[in-house]
Amino acid sequence: MDCCVIPLRHGGLSLVQTTDFFYPLVEDPYMMGRIACANVLSDLYAMGITECDNMLMLLSVSQKMNDKDRERVMPLMIRGFRDAAEEGGTSVTGGQTVINPWIIVGGVGSVVCQPNEFIMPDGAVPGDVLVLTKPLGTQVAVNAHQWLDQPERWNKIKLVVTKEEVKEAYQEAMFSMATLNRTAAGLMHKFQAHAATDVTGFGLLGHANNLAAQQRNEVAFVIHNLPILAKMAAVSKACGNLFNLVQGTSAETSGGLLVCLPREQAAKFCSEMKSQSSGPGGQGAAGGAWIIGIVEKGDRRARIIDKPRIIEVPPRGSQAANQDNSSTSPSPSPNLL
């Protein structure tokens, strides 16, 4: 599971706890702090938990940084982490800082809750619909942005994407990774979600397989649609499928929730995610969730069909995003609903 659930000796209560950390992947230290915090909280949100009682921050300061850089970068990273925690209705009460060859940032999230406050990720049934709440392609966008200054790498992708499009995808990826999955966690209860996980380092297919393997019923997940940051599928293909993005194994950081919902609730979930995600801090430019597949009877595995439909997710604020947001309903494939 994404969290450990520990029954307490006090009747009816459980301690739900998670930890995560990683290396910086964006250039803005404040945003990196926000992303790290969002990534930790996502494990709680994947179980439908919307409240976190306490957070600790784990921070490793690089011994290669001089004093001036350290004093500029580290406070920004800490502030970003704290601001995201505050947005999630919790606070950072402590942690640990060490000197290390590399910068590492992460934390611990803890909450004491009653059984009705979390959703065990094992209740999917045949006929359920799979919904994803953030677009894929963050790893590709971050790498493509780094390649702007590497002519040998850039030459491989410049025929399928412009420098401006790469910069927009990078910004969209950064804001997406820094967005909390808290709204989705709350809607999991409202629309009777049967199971969920967050999509991170193993990619969509890796996490879908992990979730399928945990189900009580003999089910399989079949993925038909892939919402991907605009142009990133083409970039992945142009560099020889280095990332295996369309194959579902490209790593994501602080990705969306993959949720199993009753068929009759999926479109309503997507619609409400979209309406709650259209503000200034909105989650994703072209809406807050996408129907990507179905649950059928099977062998507790997940697969992506041979030719999945690629849904290009435009950057927020773009003309394409504004046109998409003028519609209030999600647009799943006809064969999914």
CATH superfamily of 128-313: PurM-like C-terminal domain (3.90.650.10)
Question: Which numeric CATH code is attached to 4-113?
Answer: 3.30.1330.10
Least confident of 24-28, 41-45, 86-90, 240-244: 240-244
pLDDT per residue as tens digits for the range 209-222? 999 999 999 999 99
Q: What is the mean pLDDT of residues 9-27?
A: 94
Sequence ranges of the domains in the chain:
4-113, 128-313
The confidence score (pLDDT) of residue 264 equals 98
Name the least confident of 3-7, 207-211, 225-229, 287-291: 287-291
The 10 Å Cβ neighbour count of residue 195 is 29
Tokens 């849904």 sit on residue: 311
Mean pLDDT of the chain: 92
pLDDT value for 11: 84
Rounded percentage of the chain residues whose pLDDT exceeds 70: 91
pLDDT for 67 beyond 70: yes
- What is the spatial distance between Cα 74 and Cα 149, in angstroms, rounded to a whole number? 25
Burial class, 190, CB count within 10 angstroms (exposed 0-12 / middle 13-18 / buried 19+): exposed
**pLDDT of residue 285 exceeding 50:** no
Q: Could you tell me which of 219, 246, 223, 251 has the C-alpha nearest to residue 235?
A: 246
Strand partners, 303: 222
**Residue 197, beta-bridge partner list:** 258
pLDDT digits (tens, 9 = 90+) for 109-145: 999 999 999 999 999 999 999 999 999 999 999 999 9
Mean pLDDT of 167-194: 97
Confidence class of residue 326 from pLDDT cuts 50, 70 and 90?
very low
Report pLDDT for 211: 98
The residue to which tokens 């773009």 are assigned: 318
Average pLDDT for 48-72: 96
- Is the pLDDT at 205 greater than 80? The verdict is yes
Task: Say yes or no to pLDDT of 282 above 60.
Answer: no
User: What dihedral angle (degrees, nearest 10) is formed by the CA atoms of 211, 217, 220, 222?
Assistant: -80
pLDDT given at position 320: 63
Q: What is the pLDDT of residues 311-324, one digit of tens each?
A: 999 998 666 665 55
Per-residue pLDDT of 30-39, as tens digits, reads: 999 999 999 9
Q: Cα–Cα–Cα angle for 257, 262, 263, nearest 5°?
A: 105
pLDDT at 10: 84
Two domains, one topology: 4-113 and 128-313 = no
